[in-house]
Each structure stands twice: as structure tokens, then as C-alpha cells.
Amino acid sequence: MEELTNLFHGFAVVLQPFNIMVMFIGIILGVLIGVLPGLGGANGVAILLPLTFTMSPTSAIIMLSCIYWGALFGGAITSVLFNIPGEPWSVATTFDGHPMAQKGQAGEALTAAFTSSFIGALFAVIMITLVAPLVANFALKFGPAEQFSVYFLAFCSFVGMSKEPPTKTVASMMIGFALAAVGLDQVTGQLRLTFGFESMLNGFDFLIAVIGLFGIGEILLTIEEGLSFKGGKAGINPRVVFQTWARLPRYWATSLRSCLIGCWMGISPAGATPASFMSYGIAKRASKNGDKFGSGEIEGVIAPETAAHAAGTAALLPMLALGVPGSPTAAVLLGGLLIWGLQPGPLLFVEQKEFVWGLIASMYLGNIAGLIVVLTCVPVFAAILRIPFSIIAPLILVICAIGAYTVHNSVFDVVLMLVFGVLGYVLKKCNYPLAPLVLAIVLGDKAEETFRQSLLASQGSLTIFWANGLVGTIMALGLIALFWGAIQVGWTRLRLAASPASSGRA
């Protein structure tokens, strides 16, 4: 119960008027960072840093953590409106979020996305509050083999569910793996597939591929089909938030499942990206409307957003307790700690109680503040789609170009983005699914790295992947997910054959 006392003390600290003001500044900056690809958390820290030295470390970290919340919320905006995910974990949000916007339901999609983010994050914060020490120990159980099994599960629960021909899905995913392999091999420290080009050294960044394939590709598809965004007919409806809220409770099972997946992925340091894909894949299988996923189903927005944000939040715990940030944005917070001479680690919770509980309290309140800020803006965001295509298209092109350029400050990446754009258009018209390609680019090198680290440790023996209960269970779950379709068919047959009477128990 000491924790709760500390937490309430933390609330008292955060709720000072000055800290509330600081919170809103952080949120608004964060949303801006999330919306514009090309602005990263590092930039936010750079401009806020001088300001933060005029306040207490607690106020300062509240401000920085609110940048984090703002950026998390902001990532969904461009995914829904323009099919451009600014962060890896927003990719799955585009699958149903953007079709919803095209159907004129941008307001609903955004409301669902923001609310789900909030619920996911809130669930994770509650978990952090209640079981922080246990959770940190759980994170320690993940060595290379366990980490690989998590990536394996993410891939398995996502493939095998696309409507496209399997050979096209495989080709698309493997191209993603091949692109992810370009650059420096982490395990041997050797350059590969660069063919002597300096600009290939950094490999293919996810952001460039996604801006091209999704963002530019979408513009090309739109212009081919006639010059307008289909979202143009959406009216501005200030009540859309409440109307959507009324629909949300019926998806409570999806939300709860996604929260659990997210927390788990956040703690095992796999992170928010596999969480969002996994949650989307499982929701698609579990839902009655599974076959409508991808055409603008609200559940397809809820699942990835909830999981991504539960994971993003839960990942802060290993960062505080172990000093390993799970994402570039979490690294911003880590940087904040170091700047104030606070060393993350197991003792942070003992030696810097006021600070840690202030931070956790700010997670609760920052989240609420963030939700209020973004929800009030929903009608405004939705109205962006009313801007005529001939104005918004070049704007999107410019934003994409800036985003691609800033990844490595190189014009080569902008060229690459355009190439990916044309490729995205052609592949989509040829019925190749793009999501597996993107998933493989994001997770490919990490999956390969952990796979090889495991094999190194086991001296080449594959038994390391079922050497203990944890890794064995995750691998088994992965296999079940992979062959889910076949299992379902088999199960139905078996049941019909065994006893026709039991069919009432569906």
C-alpha cells in the first residue's frame, strides 16, 4: 500500500497548476511531432531542454513524458487521413483506419483510435502501478531465444490471413526480409548486399519504405481513379466523438485482449510494433466480421491502437528499471533522465521515489490531457480531408519528402521514397499485399539477429527454441497461429464426426 500512498503524493505533485500547464505544452508539441514525419522526439527535447532547467526535475520529466504521449496520439492522425504511418506501430492502424476515412468516417476512425490508445495506455499504467517489481523480473527472462520466439509469434499471427494468393504474400514478405538485411550485419559486423554503395550502408529504413509504399502509392492510386479523396464528402460533425463512444463498448473483448497482448509485448522488450500487428491479426480471426477487415472495420482500428499503446506504455517500465529503451521515443525519456543525472536502473525506484511516482502519476494525467486535446481536434482533423485534392496532394508529397530526407539527412532517401511509391502503386494493382513487406522490414533484422544469437549460444542446435517453458510456449502459440486455418477446419470436421448433438455448444 506504500505504493498507493506514493502514487497519490505523485498526483498531488502533478496537479499543481504549473505542472498542468507544462503538461499541455508537452502534449501539443508531441502531437506536432507525431503528425509531421521528420520531426523526432530528439528535436522536441532540444527545444524544451533550456526551458526545463528552470523547473524541478519532476516538472521537467512531466513535460518530456507528455511529448511522448502526444507523439503516440499524433501518429494515428496521418495514418487514418493519408495512409502515412509516421511510426512503425501505426502501420496496422492504416489497414482499416484509412478505408474508414475514404468511406467518409474519418471522425469515427480517429475517435476510435484515440480512445483505444487511451484505454491501452491506461491499462498498462495501472499494471505498472500494481505489479512494477514483478514485471521488471519478467522482462529479465527474455534472452535471444525468447525474443526470437516473440517475433516468430508476431509473424505467424499475421501471415496466413491475407486474401491475396499465398505465393504473392510470401514473395512480398521475403522482399521485406531481403531489404531489411541490407547494410551492416549486426552479428558478424560485415557489410552485405551494399555492392559498394555508400548510401546503402544504413540499409532501408522502415519510414522511407512506408512513406513511399503507403503514402505516395496511395496518391497515385487516387489520381488514377479520378482526382479526389473519397473522404471529401465527410461533413464536420462535432458530435462524432460521442456517437463513436456509444459504439465502442460492444468491442470490449477486443480491447481487453489487445491490452493484454500489448502489455506482454511491451515488457518482453519486443515493443509496440509486433504488438499492433499481432493484435490486428488475432482480432481479425476472432471477430465475427473478420472477413470485412481491411475494408474499414472499426474493430480493425481498435485492436492495433490499443495494443500499440499498451505496449508503448508498458515498455517504459523496463526502461526505468533496466535502462534499455524500447523505442526511439522512449529513448527521449531515457535521455531526460540522464540529463538530470538520474541513472535508470533497479535502484531508481528506491532512491528517487518522488521522481518515479511523479512520473507514473503524470502517465495517468498526461494521458487524460492528451485524450482531451486530440479529441477536441477530431472535427478539425477530419475537415482536412475536405481540402481539394490538387492542393492537398502536393502538400502530402512535400511532407513525405521532408520526412524521408530527415531520416538520414540524405537526398538519396527521397529518391528511394519515390521509387517505393511507384512500386507500391504497381504492387497494389497486381494484388501483392504490402503489409507483410512492411512488417518484414520493421522486424526482419531483429528477428534474424535474435535467431542467430540463439544459434550461437546453442552452438547451432535448434532445441534452444523449446529449451524452457517460456520459449516453448511462445513457439507453440506461433505454430498454432500459423496453422490456425487448418486447425479450424480439422476441428469442425472432428466435431461433426464425433457427435452431431453437441453442435449446440458453439
Partner 1 sequence: MERKIVAWGLGLGIGAAIALAPIAASAAWEPTRPVEFIIPAGTGGGADQMARTIQGIVTKHKLMTQSMVVVNKSGGAGGEGFLDVKNSKGNPHKIIITLSNLFTTPMATGIPFNWKDLTPVAMLALDEFILWVNAEKPYKTTKEYIEAAKAANGTFKMGGTGSKQEDQIITEAIQKSTGAKFIYIPQRGGGAVAVQLVGNHVDSTVNNPIEAVAHWRAGKVRPLCIFDEQPVHYDEKMVDGMAWKDVPTCKSQGLDVEYLMLRGIFMPGGVDKEAVAFYVELFKKVRATPEWTDLMKNGAFNTTFMAGDDYAKWVAREEKRHEELMKAAGFMAAK
Partner 2 sequence: MAENTQSADAGGPSQRAVEAGVALGMVGFALVVIVGSLQVGIGWGDEGPKAGFFPFYVGLIIFAASVINLLQARARIAGERLFAEWSALRQVLSVVIPTAIYVAVLPWVGIYFASAVLIGFFMRWLGRYGWALIAAVSVGVPLAFFLVFERWFLVPLPKGPIENLLGL
Interface positions with partner 1 (CB under 8 A) = 42-43, 45-47, 49-51, 53-54, 139-144, 183-191, 198, 201-203, 322-325, 328, 331, 334-335, 338-341, 343-348, 408-409, 449, 453, 456-457, 459
Task: Please list the residues that pair with 502 across neighbouring strands.
Answer: none
DSSP string, 122-154: HHHHHHHHHHHHHHHHHHHT--HHHHHHHHHHH
Minimum CB separation of residue 451 from partner 2 in Å reads: 8
CA dihedral 379, 384, 386, 387 (to 10 degrees): 150
Partner in contact with 341, chosen from partner 2, partner 1, none, beta carbon below 5 to 8 Å by kind: partner 1
Instruction: Show the cell assigned to 464.
Output: 534452444
Partner in contact with 142, chosen from partner 2, partner 1, none, beta carbon below 5 to 8 Å by kind: partner 1
Interacting stretch for partner 2, rule CB under 8 A, among 82-90, 336-344, 368-376, 400-408? 400-408
Contact 381, 76 (CB under 8 A): no
Q: Which is nearer to partner 1, 296 or 336 (CB)?
A: 336
Minimum CB separation of residue 385 from partner 2 in Å reads: 16
**Torsional class of 287: left (φ above 0), alpha (ψ -120 to 50), beta (otherwise):** beta
Q: Which is nearer to partner 1, 21 or 480 (CB)?
A: 21
Task: Please list the residues that pair with 183 across neighbouring strands.
Answer: 192
d(CA 69, CA 313): 9
DSSP, collapsed to helix, strand or coil, labels residue 346 as coil
Note whether 190 binds partner 2 by CB under 8 A.
yes
d(CA 172, CA 434): 7
Minimum CB separation of residue 206 from partner 2 in Å reads: 17
CB neighbour list of residue 53: distance below 8 Å, 6 or more residues apart: 60
For partner 2, which residue of 426, 462, 486, 489 counts as binding (CB under 8 A)? 426
Minimum CB separation of residue 71 from partner 2 in Å reads: 13
Subset of 439-458 contacting partner 2 (CB under 8 A): 448, 451-452, 455-456
Partner in contact with 325, chosen from partner 2, partner 1, none, beta carbon below 5 to 8 Å by kind: partner 1
CB neighbour list of residue 387: distance below 8 Å, 6 or more residues apart: none
Partner in contact with 334, chosen from partner 1, partner 2, none, beta carbon below 5 to 8 Å by kind: partner 1
Instruction: Show the cell assigned to 19.
Output: 505542472
For partner 2, which residue of 2, 17, 50, 188 counts as binding (CB under 8 A)? 188
d(CA 140, CA 165): 40
Partner in contact with 60, chosen from partner 1, partner 2, none, beta carbon below 5 to 8 Å by kind: none
Distances, alpha carbon 357 to alpha carbons 133, 330, 364, in Å: 14, 17, 11
Note whether 195 binds partner 2 by CB under 8 A.
yes
CB neighbour list of residue 410: distance below 8 Å, 6 or more residues apart: 199
Contact 342, 59 (CB under 8 A): no
Minimum CB separation of residue 395 from partner 2 in Å reads: 6
**DSSP conformational letter for 293:** T
Interacting stretch for partner 2, rule CB under 8 A, among 33-41, 260-268, 286-294, 497-505? 33-41
Minimum CB separation of residue 455 from partner 1 in Å reads: 10
DSSP, collapsed to helix, strand or coil, labels residue 234 as coil
Residues lying near partner 2 in the complex (CB under 8 A) are found at: 32, 36, 38-39, 43-44, 46-47, 165, 167-168, 170-171, 174-175, 177-178, 181, 185, 187-188, 190-193, 195, 216, 219-221, 223-225, 227, 388-391, 393-395, 397-398, 401-402, 405-406, 409, 411, 414-415, 418, 421-422, 425-430, 432, 448, 451-452, 455-456, 460
